[in-house]
Amino acid sequence: DSGVTQTPKHLITATGQRVTLRCSPRSGDLSVYWYQQSLDQGLQFLIQYYNGEERAKGNILERFSAQQFPDLHSELNLSSLELGDSALYFCASSDGGDYNEQFFGPGTRLTVL
Protein backbone atom coordinates (compact mmCIF):
# COMPACT_ATOMS: atom_id res chain seq x y z
CA ASP A 1 0.00 0.00 0.00
CA SER A 2 1.58 3.26 -1.19
CA GLY A 3 -0.51 5.50 1.07
CA VAL A 4 -2.02 7.29 -1.94
CA THR A 5 -5.76 6.83 -2.32
CA GLN A 6 -7.87 7.39 -5.40
CA THR A 7 -11.64 7.37 -5.82
CA PRO A 8 -13.57 6.01 -7.53
CA LYS A 9 -11.88 2.78 -8.62
CA HIS A 10 -14.05 2.45 -11.69
CA LEU A 11 -16.14 4.95 -13.58
CA ILE A 12 -18.38 4.28 -16.56
CA THR A 13 -19.97 7.22 -18.32
CA ALA A 14 -21.17 8.41 -21.71
CA THR A 15 -19.61 10.65 -24.31
CA GLY A 16 -20.09 14.33 -23.65
CA GLN A 17 -20.29 13.91 -19.88
CA ARG A 18 -18.08 15.36 -17.17
CA VAL A 19 -16.41 13.43 -14.35
CA THR A 20 -14.21 14.21 -11.35
CA LEU A 21 -11.44 11.97 -10.11
CA ARG A 22 -10.14 12.41 -6.60
CA CYS A 23 -6.73 11.78 -5.08
CA SER A 24 -5.44 11.95 -1.52
CA PRO A 25 -1.63 12.02 -1.32
CA ARG A 26 0.54 10.30 1.26
CA SER A 27 0.62 12.06 4.59
CA GLY A 28 3.16 14.87 4.41
CA ASP A 29 3.58 14.84 0.64
CA LEU A 30 3.18 18.26 -0.95
CA SER A 31 3.33 17.29 -4.62
CA VAL A 32 0.59 15.57 -6.57
CA TYR A 33 0.99 14.29 -10.12
CA TRP A 34 -1.66 13.04 -12.56
CA TYR A 35 -0.97 10.50 -15.30
CA GLN A 36 -3.05 8.87 -18.00
CA GLN A 37 -2.26 5.29 -19.00
CA SER A 38 -3.72 3.86 -22.17
CA LEU A 39 -2.69 0.93 -24.34
CA ASP A 40 -1.67 3.03 -27.33
CA GLN A 41 -0.17 6.05 -25.55
CA GLY A 42 1.58 4.46 -22.61
CA LEU A 43 1.97 6.48 -19.40
CA GLN A 44 1.44 10.17 -20.13
CA PHE A 45 2.22 12.90 -17.62
CA LEU A 46 -0.70 15.31 -17.35
CA ILE A 47 0.00 17.83 -14.61
CA GLN A 48 1.75 18.40 -11.30
CA TYR A 49 0.77 20.50 -8.30
CA TYR A 50 3.00 21.50 -5.41
CA ASN A 51 1.38 22.80 -2.24
CA GLY A 52 -1.63 24.10 -4.09
CA GLU A 53 0.18 25.66 -7.04
CA GLU A 54 0.55 24.27 -10.55
CA ARG A 55 4.20 23.30 -11.03
CA ALA A 56 4.46 21.48 -14.33
CA LYS A 57 2.18 20.74 -17.23
CA GLY A 58 2.39 17.85 -19.64
CA ASN A 59 0.08 16.58 -22.34
CA ILE A 60 -3.11 17.70 -20.67
CA LEU A 61 -6.03 18.49 -22.95
CA GLU A 62 -7.93 21.77 -22.61
CA ARG A 63 -11.03 19.73 -21.72
CA PHE A 64 -9.18 18.51 -18.63
CA SER A 65 -8.40 20.56 -15.55
CA ALA A 66 -7.05 19.89 -12.10
CA GLN A 67 -6.57 21.57 -8.77
CA GLN A 68 -4.99 20.91 -5.41
CA PHE A 69 -6.87 22.01 -2.33
CA PRO A 70 -5.53 23.44 0.96
CA ASP A 71 -5.73 20.00 2.58
CA LEU A 72 -3.49 18.82 -0.32
CA HIS A 73 -5.98 16.45 -1.92
CA SER A 74 -6.36 16.89 -5.64
CA GLU A 75 -9.12 16.53 -8.20
CA LEU A 76 -8.86 15.93 -11.93
CA ASN A 77 -11.87 17.12 -13.91
CA LEU A 78 -12.53 15.63 -17.34
CA SER A 79 -15.24 17.23 -19.45
CA SER A 80 -16.86 16.72 -22.87
CA LEU A 81 -15.65 13.17 -22.66
CA GLU A 82 -14.77 11.26 -25.79
CA LEU A 83 -14.32 7.54 -26.39
CA GLY A 84 -10.56 8.07 -26.57
CA ASP A 85 -10.49 9.34 -23.00
CA SER A 86 -11.09 5.80 -21.77
CA ALA A 87 -7.96 4.95 -19.80
CA LEU A 88 -6.47 4.32 -16.40
CA TYR A 89 -5.80 7.57 -14.54
CA PHE A 90 -3.12 7.51 -11.87
CA CYS A 91 -2.36 9.96 -9.17
CA ALA A 92 1.07 9.97 -7.54
CA SER A 93 2.57 11.98 -4.72
CA SER A 94 6.01 12.89 -3.45
CA ASP A 95 7.44 15.23 -0.88
CA GLY A 96 8.33 17.57 -3.73
CA GLY A 97 12.09 17.18 -3.57
CA ASP A 98 13.69 17.42 -6.98
CA TYR A 99 15.04 13.90 -6.98
CA ASN A 100 12.56 12.00 -4.88
CA GLU A 101 10.52 9.10 -6.12
CA GLN A 102 6.79 9.21 -6.63
CA PHE A 103 4.28 6.99 -4.86
CA PHE A 104 1.39 5.91 -7.05
CA GLY A 105 -2.22 5.30 -6.18
CA PRO A 106 -4.16 2.27 -7.46
CA GLY A 107 -5.72 4.27 -10.29
CA THR A 108 -9.19 5.07 -11.55
CA ARG A 109 -10.34 3.14 -14.60
CA LEU A 110 -12.50 5.38 -16.77
CA THR A 111 -14.67 3.86 -19.47
CA VAL A 112 -16.47 6.21 -21.84
CA LEU A 113 -19.27 4.57 -23.83
Partner 1 sequence: AQSVAQPEDQVNVAEGNPLTVKCTYSVSGNPYLFWYVQYPNRGLQFLLKYITGDNLVKGSYGFEAEFNKSQTSFHLKKPSALVSDSALYFCAVRDGDGGFKTIFGAGTRLFVKA
Q: Which residues bind partner 1 (CB under 8 A)?
A: 2, 4, 33, 35, 42-43, 45, 48, 55-56, 58, 90, 92, 98-99, 101-107
Least Å from the CB of residue 47 to partner 1: 10
Of the pair 13, 37, the CB lying nearest partner 1 is at 37
Minimum CB separation of residue 25 from partner 1 in Å reads: 13
- 20 or 44, CB closer to partner 1? 44
> Is the C-alpha dihedral spanning 82, 49, 72, 38 positive or negative?
positive
CB of 20 or CB of 45, closer to partner 1: 45
